[in-house]
């Protein structure tokens, strides 16, 4: 088995893609992009400047504190303009879909 080596640019691009997709569950995003959960988590921590030397929290505490930790994460690590980026992405998506619909309607009128 050959280990994949990622450049700094590849790591940053993967984290940026993760952010632009709205921070889906790490396991889902990692699988869809052919990277392990642990690797993706490490990339995010590295790009965001988080120390990965912290001992893991026991599962029971993770479940208890998940909501508050997620909010801390979002408030401290996501860009201030996250909503603006998301709205811009949605607007682009709507334009694309409108174009697809127009093309579909034109093709259906021809038949």
**Which pLDDT belongs to residue 7?**
86
User: Quick check: is 61 in a domain?
Assistant: no
Within-domain flag for 57: no
67 inside domain: no
> Within a domain: residue 60?
no
Which domain covers residue 26, as residue numbers? Answer: 1-51+73-78
- Per-position DSSP letters for 31-77, written without gaps between them: HHTT--HHHHHHHHHHHHT--S-SPPPPHHHHHHHHHHHHHHHHHHH
**In this structure, are 6 and 43 located in the same domain?**
yes
Q: Kindly give the confidence (pLDDT) of every residue in the chain, 111 residues in length, as a single tens digit, with 9 standing for 90 and above.
A: 677 788 888 888 888 899 888 888 989 999 999 999 999 999 888 877 765 554 444 544 444 444 566 666 666 666 667 777 778 888 988 999 999 999 999 988 876
Domain assignment of residue 98, yes or no: yes
In a domain, 59, yes or no: no
The number of domains in the chain is 2
86 in the same domain as 43: no
Domain annotation covers residue 46: yes
Element (H, E) at 111: none
Residues 47 and 83 in one domain: no
């Amino acid at each position: 088995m050959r280990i994949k080596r990622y450049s700094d640019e590849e790591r940053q691009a993967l984290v940026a893609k993760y952010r632009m997709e709205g921070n889906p569950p790490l396991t889902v995003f990692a699988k869809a992009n052919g990277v392990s959960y642990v690797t993706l988590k490490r990339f995010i921590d590295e790009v965001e400047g988080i120390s990965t030397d912290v001992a893991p929290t026991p599962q029971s505490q993770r479940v208890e504190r998940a909501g508050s930790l997620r909010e801390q994460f979002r408030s401290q690590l996501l860009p201030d303009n996250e909503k603006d980026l998301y709205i811009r992405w949605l607007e682009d998506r709507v334009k694309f879909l409108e174009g697809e619909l127009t093309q579909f309607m034109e093709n259906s009128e021809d038949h």
